Amino acid sequence: MASVSFRGVEKNFGRFKVIHGISFDIADGEFVVLVGPSGCGKSTLLRMLAGLEPISGGEIDIDRRVVNDVDSKDRDIAMVFQSYALYPHMTVRDNMGFSLRLRKADTSMTAQRVDDAARILNLTQLLDRYPRELSGGQRQRVAMGRAIVRDPKVFLFDEPLSNLDAKLRVAMRAEIKALHQRLKTTTVYVTHDQIEAMTMADRIVVMHDGIVEQIGTPLELFDRPGNLFVAQFIGSPAMNILQGTLRQGEGGSWVEAQGQRWPTVPQAQGNDGQAVQYGVRPGDLHLSTTGQGIPAKVVVVEPTGAETELVLRVGEADLVVVLHGRTGVKPDDTVLLDVAADKTHVFDTAGGQRLD
């Protein structure tokens, strides 16, 4: 078990800088997910932590020791990749024990660790099979088993589920989370899938273009995204965003957008007349039952069973609304929208920073 620290970490590929001085700490036993769009640098950061990529600037610590110049094999980490990289000519048992045998570990200890890992991962019945005789999910579990038997200080996962179908991905997500709850090994997990990040992480690091946009628990990022990028990246369906103008009056602030007056928290920061982006999540818009609200035209009604997704038009803007249960509204109906004021978000248009 170990803590991990990034201090001013940079990475250049030739003259091209892809990581711009990243600093944050991971506590002992924490499950941290690095998330961000393709090319933001999350794999590169993980590979630097793993020792698979030299660090161009700054320092990385594992267990309070600077590892910049420590060989990958001496960092006491285990990495699970998207391509499971199992040895095809070895059985599951031999694949799992391989790294210990390589270190000339005691044979009976190796056998014991493989048996233990197989039990945790439900692989005991499959120990004598070859990788080609396994399903995708089983292979993924063997790859995890291989990491577990090494009993590393830190587990690193690089998009380990992206080769699996949607259903299996959900199941494996839960398995990895349960595994972490059981072993409590410090874990750094890379994905571009914000739902994976939300469901698995103790804390999420949102990356974009080689910088950290925000770090927080899943609900902190969901409830109070610090900027427009995080607001639009976290949450599904994505947050609705309207371009508008901030107004400050006697009774507090509001936003003018699409010819309507949109409520904000009582007093959003910012100047009267400032150009802003007004954000509200699909679940924080409701159909009004009081006869008051913002008029909207129904464009699409999509029942999914437990919920109903609506697309509503206000002025020129389309808004997504997710309602619990079902609704009698039909396309072309006019409805009144109720906005949960305390759940709204206001961002400066120029810098994208949160204002409320």
Residues making contact with ligand ATP (CB under 6 A): 13, 18, 36, 38-44, 192
The nearer residue to ligand ATP, 205 or 294, going by C-beta atoms, is: 205
Shortest reach from residue 322's CB to ligand ATP, in Å: 27
The nearer residue to ligand ATP, 143 or 190, going by C-beta atoms, is: 190
The nearer residue to ligand ATP, 40 or 197, going by C-beta atoms, is: 40
Write the CB contacts of 135 (distance below 8 Å, at least 6 apart in sequence).
Answer: none
The nearer residue to ligand ATP, 44 or 253, going by C-beta atoms, is: 44
Shortest reach from residue 48's CB to ligand ATP, in Å: 9
Shortest reach from residue 36's CB to ligand ATP, in Å: 6
Shortest reach from residue 9's CB to ligand ATP, in Å: 12
Shortest reach from residue 56's CB to ligand ATP, in Å: 12
Shortest reach from residue 196's CB to ligand ATP, in Å: 12
Strands 77-80 and 154-158: parallel
The nearer residue to ligand ATP, 40 or 239, going by C-beta atoms, is: 40
The nearer residue to ligand ATP, 81 or 130, going by C-beta atoms, is: 81
The nearer residue to ligand ATP, 13 or 87, going by C-beta atoms, is: 13
Structure tokens at 143: 């790859």
Beta bridge partners of 25: 5
Shortest reach from residue 209's CB to ligand ATP, in Å: 9
Shortest reach from residue 82's CB to ligand ATP, in Å: 9
Separation CA 28–CA 23 (nearest Å): 17
The nearer residue to ligand ATP, 49 or 321, going by C-beta atoms, is: 49
Separation CA 124–CA 50 (nearest Å): 29
Q: How far is CA 198 from CA 152, 155, 221, in A?
A: 25, 19, 9
How would you list the strands of the sheet with 203-208, edge to edge?
A: 77-80, 154-158, 186-191, 31-35, 203-208, 211-216
The nearer residue to ligand ATP, 47 or 153, going by C-beta atoms, is: 47
Shortest reach from residue 200's CB to ligand ATP, in Å: 16
Shortest reach from residue 224's CB to ligand ATP, in Å: 24
Nearest residue to ligand ATP, using CB? 43
The nearer residue to ligand ATP, 131 or 210, going by C-beta atoms, is: 210
